[in-house]
Amino acid sequence: MKLDSMYQDVILDHYKHPHGRGLRDGDAEVHHVNPTCGDEITLRVRMDGSTVADVSYEGQGCSISQASASVLNDLLVGKELAEARRVQETFLELMQSKGRIEPDDAMEEVLEDAVAFAGVSKYPARVKCALLSWMAWKDATAQALGDGSAEHVEDKAGRKAEERTA
């Protein structure tokens, strides 16, 4: 059944048992919403030098948006920033693929559980749900690092690209 390609067990597990949920101390906090459907996330990033020390979040939304935040927490916490950014960019590429990318081993190595979202990329209305926390993380990280202007502009461009896709 096609629905199972979107609602992979991994996604449903993360939805029912989210990892790292709840707001903890952070260097920056952002609030992102999906205006078409009302999904919301408040997300904080704490950096320890160039390491992502914590990503904490609180939000409401569908299984896809909530599971995606949980997977993000699993994947990014403890990573070096450059590596975390590579994960984020790879996830963005997958989600914008309209189902055309079949994740290979290399991609699976980078994305781990997040490859389960490959099926979601076939549903344009749901891509934004999957990307909500990832865009929030990018925004919060830019603010935490204090290089607001340049990063922020880049982020806005990224979000616009995503809106076009979705």
Query: Which residues in this chain contact other proteins in the complex, by CB under 8 A?
Result: 1-3, 6-7, 12, 36-40, 60-64, 66, 123, 126, 129
- Cβ closest to other proteins, residue 61 vs residue 158: 61
- Cβ closest to other proteins, residue 58 vs residue 89: 58
CB of 51 to other proteins, least distance (A): 33
- Cβ closest to other proteins, residue 70 vs residue 90: 70
- Cβ closest to other proteins, residue 6 vs residue 95: 6
CB of 22 to other proteins, least distance (A): 17
Query: Which residues touch 151 (CB under 8 Å, ≥6 apart)?
Result: 141, 142, 145
Query: Which residues touch 38 (CB under 8 Å, ≥6 apart)?
Result: 60, 61
Beta bridge partners of 33: 40
CB of 3 to other proteins, least distance (A): 5
The answer to whether 43 touches 29, Cβ cutoff 8 Å, is yes
Cα(128)–Cα(34) distance, rounded to whole angstroms?
7
Beta bridge partners of 42: 31, 58
